[in-house]
Structure 1
């Protein structure tokens, strides 16, 4: 997976030096940034690359029902609003079945959750028990997904990555961290604590900071501007329509009763 291109190489030489991460070794990602920072459009670019290169099967639980994804509304690999909650549960069931089966022949799979904080805020209002359930399920996958099958990942899109949005320790289980746009000092401290970065520097939309487990340093990145979003969505949709559904994948393994 390409998280972006080296910003310094792009600004200095006009060259695209990719910043790569291996989804098998590093299956989970945190994509942070304020509204307008470019995180959703950058995620579309990520999704296209992942699907095109057959790095993972992709499922998107879009709680905010963003207009960026409107062309995916009738796709079985996409859910929005309250149906996003059910997709998270189904993904957890698949994770449990693969964990119980101990199969090494499974595909790499990834669930992206768009606007994680908004989802948790909504659940806090309507059903605190359900909020705890969803946080625990996602936290368990973050903690254990890398070692199961060929990797079971989660991509969380969020405006602020406060620790209150994660069960204890689960934020530290994310192997790929990206933050776009104007980044507050607090956000930098939460995501890149102890790293040698300019605490006062901010970035325009589609630019930011990335850190990958095992690579040791925070890197400045730029994600290409999407010129034709509709065309990109059409390509993404064509890939998603040709992959198995969550239900088909789940039924491929013996159903098990796996609690959080």
Structure 2
């Protein structure tokens, strides 16, 4: 098949000039086959373009696969990252089975464990209000610990020193700012807490609700110290602090040897 070198119009074998544009017809069909020029002039350019497009698509796909394999882990939405080191942290290599459960029908033989002191990695300073970790132990729903780090407090910690070594079995939580429904919605609430009791650690994911939640530790957790770390939050609609209103620690004291 012959085509006009100027406009690509199909030519008959005996055409000397293109009937479409009047351009002189190109070389005979035999010569065109020998030289590899057997299609319209745009065909070779189209083939090159297709090869380039395929190569670009292939490189993009490879890049996406490599990014997915080696992408950094995220601990939260946006730019949130867990703090690499927070004062008071307890290091542990043992994972505890910490599960969100219903309130136990009976706590016996466990009882509420007193904490002799408490602390936090950061606190909001607010005139007329105490927002320290001690507010989570005062039995008042309207008071709370409010972390004071920039952002939603991912990686911030609160800890409790117990008055002895206990086998910890249950923990209870009232998460968020319980001063009122508008304060609850306005502040961040913990979504995931990392609980460290003695030498074991477990992450617990909580629903978002203004109610008391209970966590049961199935492993034997002998501890004289409890650490809670914020790993993720439900975002508030007004303020940039994550709050915890109340924490209860339940265990039984280790029998003397």
Task: Please indicate the TM-score interval, normalised by the length of the shorter structure.
Answer: under 0.3
Q: Select the structure with the greater relative contact order (CA < 8 A; seq sep ≥ 6).
A: 1
Normalised TM-score (structure 1): 0.21
Q: Which is strand-richer, 1 or 2?
A: 2
Normalised TM-score (structure 2): 0.21
Higher Cα Rg: structure 1 or 2? Answer: 2
